[in-house]
Structure 1
């Protein structure tokens, strides 16, 4: 089992010193990765799952923050949970992600994408909310094509994106691709993970039966697409106080990674939570 941690900047603060201190301590404790969320724009009345998001919540750009974190750490992997893929142009996003991966020496490896749940956010960036799933599918194809393409260039003609003989350098660090995990709480997300993803990261508010059904759907969709279902990673949210028995139950369900976040805004208490968790599960830093 792999263990990562999330840092929800809207609730724990966008203070640069606190973010770096959290990331460095997570690395020292042996957590595999640090995940950051994204919202591009909020507005009065914005709700997700019945929970209202105050417009004043600070959502700094996650990729900028992860670049900042990468410069201050050595080993911890960089993750998003989730990046709203339909609201980014895949040509520029492919360049940004590859650049972060190069500068971090191969640590931009836990990109998790979603399609968004706020219609007003889609409208703000000029995206038809009804097409966001199809845009995400195309964007994944475009980015992978650009990462793998050479000096001769690659071409793509889809519903939303079109270009001829395009080259994108630098490539990811010692690679021609970056893993793309799919996040979400819907069967459409599970199918996307099976067709196109390297893993599935379902949301937290799902009944156990639906959660199991979605992971089964991801695997069967992978088989239908001619892909190896066993290669799909399965990431779940956990809690800082979770027991070894709970982790064993997750493992029995096929979970390969657990992401936990702090329960407090106090930096000292956050560090104590991480240290206690790391001790409970015998985490050790990956050698540099």
Structure 2
């Protein structure tokens, strides 16, 4: 089992010294990865499920933050949970991700993308909320084409994005393409994982039967598409105080990575929560 940690600037703030100290502490303790979430804009009345989101929460850009983290660390992998792919242009995003991967010497390897659930956020980006699934699929295909393309250039003609005979450099560090994990809490997300994803990172308050059904659907879809379902990584959120028994239960479900979020408001206390977790699971051993 691999363990990652989340850092949410909306709740922990955007103090650069604390972000760097948190990332270095997580790295020193043996955590594999650090994840940041994304919201491009919020607005009065925006809700996640039944809960209204304060519109002044400081969601910093996750890729800019991860670039900053990369400069402050040397080993920890960089992840998003989740990046809102339909609201990003794939030509620009492919360049940004490859650049971070090169500058971090191959650590931009846990990109997790999702569709977003706030119609007002889509409207602010000029995106038809109903098309965001198709846009995300095209964006994944376009980015992979750009990463794989050589000096002769590549072309793409889709419903939302198109380009002709273009080259995108630098390439990702030492690989033909960056892994793309799929986040979501729906069967559509599970199918997208099977068709295009390198891993599945479901969220939301799914009951165990539905969660298991989605994971099985992702694997079944992968097999039907001629892909190896055993190659799909399976990431889940976990609590900072979870027990060994809970980790073993997730491992039995096929989970390969658990990402935990510290809950304390005080930075020193957050660091203590990470230390206690690392000691409990012997991450530095």
Asked if 1:125 is matched to 2:159, the reply is no
- Counterpart of 2:151 in structure 1 is 151
Deviation at 1:176, TM superposition (A): 1.3
> After superposition, where does 1:51-66 map in structure 2 within 5 Å?
51-66=51-66
**CA positional deviation for 1:35:** 0.2
TM-superposed CA distance for 1:204, in Å, is 3.6
Structure 2 residue aligned with 1:16: 16
Q: Deviations over 1:123-156 (max 9, x none)?
A: 0010000000000000000000000000000111
Partner of 1:227: 227
In the alignment, structure 1 residue 95 sits paired with structure 2 residue 95: yes
CA distance, structure 2, for counterparts of residue 124 and residue 272 of structure 1: 39
User: Partners in 2 of 1:235 and 1:193 — Cα distance?
Assistant: 12
Secondary structure, aligned partner of 1:255: coil
Q: What secondary structure is seen at the aligned counterpart in 2 of 1:195?
A: helix
After superposition, residues 13-92 of structure 1 pair within 5 angstroms as 13-92=13-92
Q: Counterparts of 1:204 and 1:92 in 2: how far apart (Å)?
A: 29
Indicate the residue corresponding to 1:162 in structure 2. Answer: 162
Structure 1 moving runs of 4+ over 6 Å: none
Residue in 2 that maps onto 1:7: 7
SS of the residue aligned with 2:206? coil
Deviation at 1:18, TM superposition (A): 1.0
Unaligned runs of 5+ in 2: none
Distance 1:266 1:251 in 2: 31
Instruction: Name the residue aligned to 1:242.
Output: 242
| Equivalence for 2:264 | 264
Residues of 2 paired with 1:197 and 1:48: CA distance? 24
For 2:242 and 2:85, locate their aligned partners in 1 and report how far apart those are by CA, in whole Å.
Answer: 31
Shift of 1:284: 2.4
Whole-angstrom distance in 2 between the partners of 1:167 and 1:18? 38
Distance across 2 between alignment mates of 1:284 and 1:189: 34
> What TM-score, normalized to structure 1?
0.98
CA deviation profile, 1:243-262 (whole Å, cap 9, x unmatched): 10100000000000000010
Root-mean-square deviation (Å): 0.8
1:18-42 CA-to-partner distances (Å, cap 9, x unmatched) read 1111101000000000000000000
- Which whole-Å CA distance do the structure 2 matches of 1:252 and 1:103 have between them? 36
Correspondence for 2:192: 192
Q: Distance in 2 between matches of 1:194 and 1:265?
A: 38
Partners of 2:192 and 2:51 lie apart in 1 by: 25
Per-residue deviation at 1:277?
Answer: 0.6
User: 2 CA distance for matches of 1:165 and 1:57?
Assistant: 41
Which whole-Å CA distance do the structure 2 matches of 1:30 and 1:9 have between them? 22
Aligned pair count? 285
CA distance in 1, matches of 2:145, 2:63: 21
Tell me, in whole angstroms, the C-alpha distance in 2 between the residues paired with 1:260 and 1:189. 22
Q: 1: distance between equivalents of 2:107 and 2:203?
A: 24
Aligned twin of 2:172: 172
Give the TM-score of the pair, scaled to structure 2.
0.99
Asked whether the 8 Å contact 1:204–1:237 carries over to 2, the reply is no
Would the aligned equivalents of 1:40 and 1:121 in 2 still touch at CA under 8 Å?
yes
Q: Deviations over 1:214-258 (max 9, x none)?
A: 101100110111100000000000011111010000000000000
**Structure-2 separation of matches of 1:163 and 1:212:** 39
